[in-house]
Structures are given as C-alpha cells and as structure tokens.
Amino acid sequence: MPVKNSFADRQDEITAWRRDIHAHPEILFDTHRTSALVAEKLRAFGCDEVVEGVGRTGVVGVIKGKATGSGKVVGLRADMDALPIEEATGLPYASKTPGAMHACGHDGHTAMLLGAAEYLAETRNFDGTVVVIFQPAEEGGGGAKVMCDDGLMERWGVQEVYGMHNWPGQPLGSFAIRTGPFFAATDIWQMVIEGRGGHAAKPHETVDPVVCAAQIVSAAQTIAARNADPVSQLVVSVTSFETSSKAFNVIPARVTLKGTVRTLSPENRDLAESRLGAIGTGIAEAMGCKATLDYTRNYPVMVNHPEQTEFAAEVARGISGQCAEAPLVMGGEDFAFMLEERPGAYILVGNGDTAAVHHPEYNFNDEAIPAGCSWWAEIVEQRMPAA
Ligand SMILES: [Zn+2]
Ligand SMILES: [Zn+2]
C-alpha cells in the first residue's frame, strides 16, 4: 500500500493551505488566526464535533467511523505555532509578520493533519472514532500539557495518540522512528553568583563574582564528562553569562548564568540538577561568593511506547517501503506530555535536503504531504479496521 492516490490528488489544495498558514505565522498561544482557520475547515469537512479553546487556543475535531462498535478512539496531534525568527527564505509566501516565522514546519504538520481529516470525514472507512488535535505553543509554552490539563484525553476518551514531525536531512517522504526514549527532557536553569563589587584596579578589595562564575562554567562541563555514565546522553550548556556591571573598570557585585540541561533518563536528570547545585555552591564558597541555583524541569523525555511504535513503523513501511531507526534527539518535544497520559508513538517524515529546523532559511517541503497524510489516514484505517 503506497501513498494513497487520494492525497496525490489533494496535494495542491493542501499545499495552498500550508502556504497560507506559512505566510501568517503565530507564536506560542497566540495562534488565533490559525486556530480559527483549522476550526472552520474541520466544520466544512463535516466533522461530528469541533471544539475551540481547548488549552487556550487548541482545537479538537471528532470524526466517527462508519461504525463505532469497536469502541476505539485514536488521537492524532499536530502543532500550529511558529517561532520568533526573522524569515530569510525570500519565498513568495514568506512570513508577512516581522519577527515571526514557521521555521519548524508546524505549518506543514497542521496542513497535513487537515488533509487527513478531510479524507477521513469523507470516507469514514473505519470502526471507531478519530480525535484530531491541533495544539498551540509547542515551541516553549507546553501547549500539549495545557491541553491535557484541560481534560483533552478524558473529554474525548482518547485511548492512543500519534504525532509526526518533518525532518530535514532525512530522505524526502521517508520515515524514521524509535521505541523508548526519543527526544530529550529540556530543563532550564539560572544561577546567580553574588560577590562584592568595586574598582577594577583594586581587585583585592572586592570579591570578584566574574572569576568565580568562570570557574563554575568550566566545572559544569565535568557533569557530562566525569559524572554521567559515558554511554548515556547528557548535555549541560551555559548559554548566558551576564554581569551587573557595564563598565570597563568596575568589578560587578553579581553574575547571572543561564543554561539548559538535556537528558534522556530520570537518573541523569537528577544527577545534572544535584551536581550543578553542588558545583555552584562549592566553588562559590571556596571563592568567598554565594551561588543560588534556580532549576526548572521543563518538557519531560518523550518516550515512544513499544507496541504503538511497532504499529506506526509497519504503517510507514506500507507507504514508503521502509522505516529507518531514528537517532536519539537532544532537542525537546512537548508531545512528551501526551505520551505520558496515553500510549502512542511519534514518527519523523523526511523533509529532504533542506535547511535545518529553526534556521531562517528553513521551509517545509510540500512534496512530503502525500506521505505524511497517508500515514495519518492509514494509522486510523489499520488501527480501527472497518468490518
Ligand atoms: Zn521546533
Ligand atoms: Zn517542531
């Protein structure tokens, strides 16, 4: 079963939706235009139920099969939000909003799930119920969690959930997946190091937090290099080093460090948090300063469930003749929150040889639409086969 003919036929229409969404990117929960567009299309397709405002700006559509006797309910999720990046593609349908851009391809994800919803509402060739989920705020706002907290899974009785992301560098329209931990937990932290400021020509009369913070930055590298099991994955990055002085000749009283920790296991997550605290406190004390760590657990590890992953891979193989084992990703994905609530799987669809996601020259590849839509439709038709 290759790409469904129906999606080859619908590709131009779905591409037009995608480019319209691309030209009007919206950030975090402010996906008002996109959410309205999604809801309007779902109603036009004849969905049995369309609910807006789930998890602030999320949209849910319900499509019942020809029969529903199986009692099965499958959730399909796409993300709708863009990034605060200035687009540099020069495309005719480039962002019309300065400082915002669909640089992660969520325009493509939304359009593909709409395409699948249109087909499923038309054909209804399955026994059960499909819940199409369009979420805001994947890029940092935890929109998936906000939708779950709004009762997404319970309100519509969702039993399993599936997600998809386009992947630059992966052959166009091909698939890749892995079972178990897949995308990293993305924690953020801030450490304030306090000393005593003064004249830069009289360092002996100060307690210099800059030198102290520099030691902490260096020592933080030992968490991954010396503390974590080398065959496990752990990233500790310092991304901001800011002092309270703007002058050439003043030793500041305070330095603020910011960074992120990426892990794929609860053990490494605990380890990174505790070691970061111990290194900060210990070095600061040794140098006469005081360090305070503020560590925030952000998106959890995204873990694919084995049974649903095997099924998702089987469906992918039916469409493109292959399904590769995806590499581990140290980036985050808030679909992790949905996979904590229900079993399911998340797959990558190849975007071909394009700029990477989050790059100002990135663009979703419309040629991936038939494969992506076919995967959504086959997930439904094979998971809930009609009698
Ligand atoms: Zn992204
Ligand atoms: Zn993304």
Residue where one domain finishes, among candidates 268, 299, 330: 299
DSSP secondary structure string for all residues of 346-365: EEEEE--S-PPTTSTT----
pLDDT at 217: 98
The CA 164 to ligand 2 mean position distance, Å, reads: 9
H or E stretch at 244:
none
The CA 139 to ligand 2 mean position distance, Å, reads: 7
Asked if residue 210 and residue 264 are part of one domain, the reply reads yes
The CA 222 to ligand 1 mean position distance, Å, reads: 28
Asked if residue 162 and residue 34 are part of one domain, the reply reads yes
Instruction: Count how many domains the chain has.
Output: 2
**Is there a contact between 262 and 186 (Cβ–Cβ < 8 Å)?**
yes
The CA 333 to ligand 2 mean position distance, Å, reads: 7
* CATH number of the domain where residue 269 is located: 3.30.70.360
Asked if residue 319 and residue 287 are part of one domain, the reply reads no
Q: Walk along the chain (387 residues) and give the pLDDT tens digit of each residue.
A: 578 889 999 999 999 999 999 999 999 999 999 999 999 999 999 999 999 999 999 999 999 999 999 999 999 999 999 999 999 999 999 999 999 999 999 999 999 999 999 999 999 999 999 999 999 999 999 999 999 999 999 999 999 999 999 999 999 999 999 999 999 999 999 999 999 999 999 999 999 999 999 999 999 999 999 999 999 999 999 999 999 999 999 999 999 999 999 999 999 999 999 999 999 999 999 999 999 999 999 999 999 999 999 999 999 999 999 999 999 999 999 999 999 999 999 999 999 999 999 999 999 999 999 999 999 999 999 999 998
Give the annotated binding-site residues for Mn(2+).
104, 106, 139, 165, 358
Ligand found nearest the CA of 357: 1
The CA 299 to ligand 2 mean position distance, Å, reads: 13
* CATH number of the domain where residue 148 is located: 3.40.630.10
The CA 292 to ligand 1 mean position distance, Å, reads: 30
201: containing domain: 185-299
Q: Which of 34, 65, 69, 35 is nearest to 48 (CA)?
A: 65
pLDDT at 4: 84
pLDDT at 3: 82
The CA 139 to ligand 1 mean position distance, Å, reads: 6
The CA 356 to ligand 1 mean position distance, Å, reads: 10
Ligand found nearest the CA of 166: 2
* Secondary structure class of 242 (helix, strand, coil): strand
Instruction: List the shell of residues around ion ligand 1, using CB closer than 5 Å.
Output: 104
The CA 140 to ligand 1 mean position distance, Å, reads: 9
Q: How far is CA 97 from CA 41, 104, 135, in A?
A: 23, 16, 20
pLDDT at 2: 78
Asked if residue 195 and residue 286 are part of one domain, the reply reads yes
d(CA 121, CA 47): 6
Asked if residue 128 and residue 145 are part of one domain, the reply reads yes
**Is there a contact between 301 and 335 (Cβ–Cβ < 8 Å)?**
no
Asked if residue 323 and residue 350 are part of one domain, the reply reads yes
Asked if residue 151 and residue 59 are part of one domain, the reply reads yes
Ligand found nearest the CA of 101: 1
**Exposure b/e, 181-218, CB count within 10 A at least 16 = b:** bbbbbbbbbebbbbbebbeeeeeeebbbbbebbbbbbe
Asked if residue 103 and residue 119 are part of one domain, the reply reads yes
Max CA distance (Å), the chain: 85
The CA 104 to ligand 1 mean position distance, Å, reads: 5
The CA 318 to ligand 2 mean position distance, Å, reads: 25
Asked if residue 248 and residue 123 are part of one domain, the reply reads no
Asked if residue 138 and residue 46 are part of one domain, the reply reads yes
Give the annotated binding-site residues.
104, 106, 139, 165, 358
Asked if residue 104 and residue 16 are part of one domain, the reply reads yes
pLDDT at 1: 58
Residue where one domain finishes, among candidates 299, 318, 340: 299
H or E stretch at 65:
none
d(CA 163, CA 76): 6
Asked if residue 172 and residue 55 are part of one domain, the reply reads yes
Ligand found nearest the CA of 79: 2
* Secondary structure class of 233 (helix, strand, coil): coil
- Alpha-carbon torsion (50, 157, 318, 369), positive or negative: positive
Residue where one domain finishes, among candidates 299, 318, 351: 299
